[in-house]
């Protein structure tokens, strides 16, 4: 009788949510807000397209942006994907521990901040595969390129499909899944194709704010629904409020598995292997600003993001405890975000939240499309052109990048279609993800931090590592169970052996397989006879020297605020200042300079890098060469701030 | 009546997270100093080293306070 009643409640709960979502979908105000959002996004993309003059601008935004702009952009990318739906669902099922993946990224920060970040920045590594060629050889680069492109195209497909599935229930039966995917792909593809990285960064700035605002607003509305924080807190059971899950009891969600899968493999993958994120850091005006962006993001933005993406699950659980007729105990966790949002908001508010979630998904897709075109131009098109003895100029590469962005969008639609054929989307993608990322992660990690790690070791990490991962999938009890920390392989409810056991703790085995293959082969083979200057964290001084082209000047100076004049007689990349200003800057001829519009809120949009080329006697004015004037997008009559870099 | 969670549900994950995670963190700190990637003589590097240590204890404190608050029934 009780189960029949529960079933009825569940049915009515789901029906009510679907009806409410569909009802909102037929409201003009709802569509006004959603379409208004898309118009703003397209407007941003078109406006910032004017700042692209080279492939450096298109891919890296001209290496000019301030840390806070990059932080918000990373927030939008990090929160992106299917975070709102996924973490709300996990939190509804498992409580506060559902968002623990957001709060465990600090352990590898020393190696990122003082290792990987300065290496990619100072060595001007444009893509992750390019690092593999410099560190090892062209074959390792080709392997890495193939794996990385497949991984990113798959992710674009997942992003487009998730967006379509989010919008599907709201649009109703008149739209097919593929029609929605095409519309979303065209919107994302247009602004990334014409806007490039600058468009992505500025659009993500907007989206980052929308996402955090929407999530925190939902939390406040939820607390208000309960009558305050105390009422909300006291209704939740103790286990639900714990921030870390059970150690190893539940094979479907256990702390130790998630630690190895997310805190270790996921964190290294996110910081070191994510081409989209690497390009964000390369868009920073300096290594120090990259460090600030990374640190601020993990220390402060991620905990706030954890609340924003998970709170619908917490609120939903509280509502279910208080009134099971409002939110049924049998609610599908994936729908809890929509249900809670619809309960707490009006139709207009619901439109805003749907736009926010779509923004989250679009941020991931736009970053990936831009990253794919960077990898294609840098690691496929250029090497092939070189082999054929053809030299193309930067303008040609910029056109290829735009075509590659458009092609990546179309292939992403194809990937979305193929993923839509699977019954269980995330499991199919999860298998793909966990099979292909550990070799890249292990290879990058050992490449940076172990000088002895050689080319044969890198090949073994890719090839033998992948074979062992597949073996682990086929023989989980023999290979993974001995290191599974007691995580059971049996479903606790049915008592049956799980078809895919150790899905989280399997990451420990995958990492051991890849690191082990690389270490064993490296130790059994000869050292590479290769110059590694600047390519490992043991030679960062050399990397800085190579970046500058001469010895760094680390004397402390003070930024100077000046007017500017164009001097077409100056050589490319040069500026000149008077002797007094040079003394205040502690700068000498040949030192690197950063010139920026004085208005800090622009975040470096109007700025350029240059080198000091002697002195002049024209007072407090900086003379700019033609290319610096053009690339900096400086406005007439505006003051500039000049800083010495090193 | 709300049951008090077992040790493996409450503090064991915390100890594992900051114990094993702490080994990775400490290993990373030692490596950046040993490789001279972080040069203690430079003021900006000293500042960053302090930020890194702060970050570890910042997260340990957040998780500790949350577990303590949840158990305080």
**Which residues of A are less than 8 Å from B60 in CB distance?**
none
Q: What is the pLDDT of residue A2?
A: 31
Question: What's the maximum distance between 2 C-alpha atoms anywhere in chain B?
Answer: 58
Closest CA to A627 of A546, A567, A548: A567
- Mean pLDDT, residues A49-61: 62
B19 has a chain A CB within 8 A of its CB: no
C-beta contacts of A384-390 below 8 A and 24+ residues apart: none
- Residue A517 CB partners (closer than 8 Å, separation 6+): A457, A460, A461, A464, A465, A468
Better-scored residue on pLDDT, A518 or A250: A518
Polymer length of chain A: 646
Closest CA to A207 of A89, A367, A409: A367
Q: What percent of chain A has pLDDT over 70?
A: 87
Helical H segments across A421-475, by residue range: 425-449, 455-474
Give φ, ψ of A497 to 5 degrees. -70, 135
Residue A12: pLDDT band with limits 50, 70, 90: very low
Q: What is the pLDDT of residue A102?
A: 87
Structure tokens at A22: 């569909």
Distance CA A93, CA A471 (A): 32
Mark yes or no for CB contact A241/B35 under 8 Å.
no
Q: What is the pLDDT of residue A10?
A: 41
Q: What percent of chain B has pLDDT over 70?
A: 93
| Tens-digit pLDDT profile for residues A255-290 | 998 899 888 888 888 788 877 788 888 889 999 999
How far, in Å, are A7, A115, A209, A314, A553 from residue A11 at the CA level? 6, 54, 36, 21, 70
CA end-to-end distance (rounded Å), chain B: 10
Q: What is the pLDDT of residue B42?
A: 87
For tokens 């009891």, name the residue: A249
Distance CA B44, CA B56 (A): 19
User: Do residues A575 and A613 lie in contact, with contact meaning Cβ atoms separated by under 8 Å?
Assistant: yes
Closest CA to A342 of A566, A117, A5, A30: A30
How far, in Å, are A40, A183, A204 from residue A160 at the CA level? 20, 10, 17
Mark yes or no for CB contact A298/B73 under 8 Å.
no
User: Nearest residue of A to residue B73 by CA position?
Assistant: A238
- Mean pLDDT, residues A301-330: 91
| Tens-digit pLDDT profile for residues B2-36 | 667 788 888 999 999 999 999 999 999 999 999 99
Closest CA to A610 of A567, A642, A564, A563: A642
Residue A5: pLDDT band with limits 50, 70, 90: very low
Q: What is the pLDDT of residue A169?
A: 64
| Tens-digit pLDDT profile for residues A384-442 | 888 888 888 777 887 888 888 888 888 888 888 877 776 555 555 556 666 678 888 89
**How many other CB atoms are found less than 10 A from the CB of residue A324?**
17
pLDDT value at A587 more than 50? yes
Q: How close does chain A come to B5, measured CA to CA in Å?
A: 7
Distance CA A368, CA A483 (A): 34
- Reduce the DSSP state of residue A346 to 3 states and report it: coil
DSSP state of A480: T
Tally helices (H) and strands (E) across chain B. Answer: 2, 0
Q: What is the pLDDT of residue B1?
A: 47
Q: Checking phi first, is residue A389 left (phi over 0); if not, alpha (psi -120 to 50) or beta?
A: left
User: Do residues A73 and A278 lie in contact, with contact meaning Cβ atoms separated by under 8 Å?
Assistant: no
Better-scored residue on pLDDT, A579 or A160: A579
How would DSSP label each residue in B32-61?
HHHTTSS-TTSHHHHHHHHHHHHHHHHHHH
Beta bridge partners of A624: A566, A575
Q: What is the pLDDT of residue A225?
A: 93
Beta bridge partners of A641: A561, A596
User: Do residues A243 and B69 lie in contact, with contact meaning Cβ atoms separated by under 8 Å?
Assistant: no
| Tens-digit pLDDT profile for residues A77-99 | 777 656 787 788 889 999 999 88
Q: How close does chain B come to A255, measured CA to CA in Å?
A: 6
pLDDT value at A560 more than 80? yes
Helical H segments across A270-424, by residue range: 275-282, 287-296, 302-322, 336-344, 347-376, 382-387, 394-420
Mark yes or no for CB contact A243/B67 under 8 Å.
yes
Beta bridge partners of A575: A612, A624
Nearest to B16 among A241, A259, A295 (CB): A259
Structure tokens at A334: 């994936």
Q: How close does chain B come to A608, measured CA to CA in Å?
A: 23
Distance CA A210, CA A10 (A): 32
Do the bridges between strand A640-644 and strand A592-597 make them parallel or antiparallel, or are there none, so unpaired? antiparallel
Q: What is the pLDDT of residue B13?
A: 94
Distance CA A282, CA A120 (A): 8
Distance CA A556, CA A552 (A): 12
Is the pTM of the predicted complex or chain greater than 0.95?
Answer: no
For A82-142, give the secondary structure using H, E and C: CHHHHHHHHHHHHHHHHHHHHHCCCCCHHHHHHHHHHHHHHCCCCCHHHHHHHHCCHHHHH
Give φ, ψ of B5 to 5 degrees. -65, 150
Distance CA A268, CA A262 (A): 9
A343-347, A629-633, B58-62, range with greatest mean pLDDT: B58-62
pLDDT value at A3 more than 50? no
- Mean pLDDT, residues A295-302: 93
B1 has a chain A CB within 8 A of its CB: no
User: Do residues A279 and A60 lie in contact, with contact meaning Cβ atoms separated by under 8 Å?
Assistant: yes
**How many other CB atoms are found less than 10 A from the CB of residue A613?**
20
User: Nearest residue of B to residue A241 by CA position?
Assistant: B70
| Tens-digit pLDDT profile for residues A460-510 | 999 999 899 989 988 999 999 999 888 888 887 777 877 778 888 888 999
Q: Of A16-20, A186-190, A518-522, give the lowest mean pLDDT range.
A: A16-20
Q: Is the dihedral of CA A152, A158, A159, A164 positive or negative?
A: positive
- Residue from A244, A289, A539 whose CB has the most chain B CBs within 10 Å, to mutate: A244
Q: What is the pLDDT of residue A384?
A: 87
Do the bridges between strand A640-644 and strand A607-616 make them parallel or antiparallel, or are there none, so unpaired? unpaired
pLDDT value at A16 more than 70? no
Mark yes or no for CB contact B52/A113 under 8 Å.
yes
| Tens-digit pLDDT profile for residues A223-250 | 999 999 999 999 999 999 999 988 988 8
pLDDT value at A291 more than 90? yes
**Which residues of A are less than 8 Å from B62 in CB distance?**
103, 243, 303
């Amino acid at each position: 009788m009780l189960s029949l009643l529960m079933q009825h409640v569940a049915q009515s709960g789901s029906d009510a949510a679907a009806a409410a979502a569909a009802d909102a979908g037929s409201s003009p105000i709802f569509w006004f807000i959603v379409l208004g959002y898309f118009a703003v996004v397209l407007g941003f993309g078109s406006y910032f397209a004017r700042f692209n003059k080279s492939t450096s601008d298109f891919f890296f935004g001209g290496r000019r942006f301030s840390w806070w702009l990059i932080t918000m952009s990373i927030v939008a990318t990090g929160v992106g994907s299917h975070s709102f739906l996924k973490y709300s669902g996990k939190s509804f099922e498992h409580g506060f521990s559902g968002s623990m993946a957001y709060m465990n990224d600090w352990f590898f920060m020393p190696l990122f901040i003082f290792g990987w970040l300065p290496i990619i920045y100072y060595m001007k590594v444009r893509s992750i595969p390019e690092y593999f060629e410099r560190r090892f050889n062209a074959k390792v680069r080709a392997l890495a390129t193939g794996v990385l492109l497949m991984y990113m195209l798959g992710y674009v497909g997942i992003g487009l499909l998730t967006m379509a599935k989010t919008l599907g229930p709201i649009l109703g039966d008149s739209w097919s899944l593929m029609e929605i995917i095409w519309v979303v792909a065209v919107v994302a593809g247009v602004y990334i194709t014409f806007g490039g990285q600058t468009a992505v960064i500025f659009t993500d700035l907007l989206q980052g704010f929308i996402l955090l605002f929407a999530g925190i607003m939902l939390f406040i509305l939820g607390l208000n629904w309960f009558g305050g924080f105390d009422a909300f807190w006291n209704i939740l059971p103790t286990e639900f409020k714990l921030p870390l899950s059970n150690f190893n009891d539940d094979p479907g969600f256990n702390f130790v598995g998630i630690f190895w899968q997310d805190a270790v493999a996921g964190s290294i993958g996110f910081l070191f292997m994510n081409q989209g994120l690497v390009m964000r850091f390369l868009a920073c005006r300096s290594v120090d600003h990259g460090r600030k962006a990374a640190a601020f993001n993990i220390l402060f933005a991620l905990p706030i993001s954890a609340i924003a993406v998970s709170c619908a699950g917490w609120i939903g659980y509280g509502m279910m405890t208080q009134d099971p007729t409002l939110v049924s105990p049998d609610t599908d966790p994936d729908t809890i975000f929509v249900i809670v949002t619809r309960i707490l908001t009006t139709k207009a508010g619901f439109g805003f939240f749907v736009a926010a979630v779509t923004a989250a998904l679009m941020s991931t897709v736009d970053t990936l499309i831009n990253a794919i075109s960077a990898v294609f131009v840098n690691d496929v098109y250029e090497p092939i052109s070189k082999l054929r003895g053809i030299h193309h100029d930067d303008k040609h590469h910029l056109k290829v990048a735009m075509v590659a962005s458009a092609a990546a969008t179309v292939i992403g639609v194809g990937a979305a279609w193929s993923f839509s054929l699977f019954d269980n989307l995330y499991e199919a993608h999860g298998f793909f993800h966990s099979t292909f990322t550990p070799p890249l992660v292990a290879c990058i990690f050992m490449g940076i931090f172990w000088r002895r790690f050689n080319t044969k070791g890198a090949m073994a990490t890719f090839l033998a590592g992948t074979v062992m991962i597949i073996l682990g999938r086929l023989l989980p009890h023999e290979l993974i169970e001995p290191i599974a920390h007691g995580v059971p392989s049996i479903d606790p409810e049915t008592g049956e052996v799980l078809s895919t056991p150790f899905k989280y703790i399997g990451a420990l085995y995958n990492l051991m397989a890849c690191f082990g293959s690389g270490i064993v082969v490296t130790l059994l083979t000869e050292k590479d006879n290769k110059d590694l200057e600047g390519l490992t964290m043991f030679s960062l001084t050399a990397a800085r020297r190579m970046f500058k082209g001469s010895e760094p000047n680390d004397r402390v100076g003070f930024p100077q605020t000046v007017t500017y004049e164009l001097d077409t007689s100056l050589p490319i990349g040069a500026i000149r200042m008077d002797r007094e200003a040079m003394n205040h800057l502690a700068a000498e001829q040949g030192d690197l300079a950063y010139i920026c519009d004085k208005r800090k809120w622009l975040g470096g949009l109007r700025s350029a890098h240059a080198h000091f080329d002697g002195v002049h006697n024209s007072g407090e004015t900086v003379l700019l060469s033609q290319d610096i004037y053009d690339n900096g997008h400086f406005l007439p009559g505006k003051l500039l701030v000049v800083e010495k870099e090193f | 009546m709300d049951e008090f969670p077992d040790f493996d549900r409450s503090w064991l994950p915390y100890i594992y997270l900051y114990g094993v995670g702490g080994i990775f963190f400490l290993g990373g700190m030692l490596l950046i100093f040993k490789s001279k990637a972080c040069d203690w003589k430079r003021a900006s590097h000293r500042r960053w080293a302090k930020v890194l240590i702060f970050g570890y204890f910042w997260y340990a404190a957040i998780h500790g306070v949350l577990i303590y608050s949840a158990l305080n029934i």
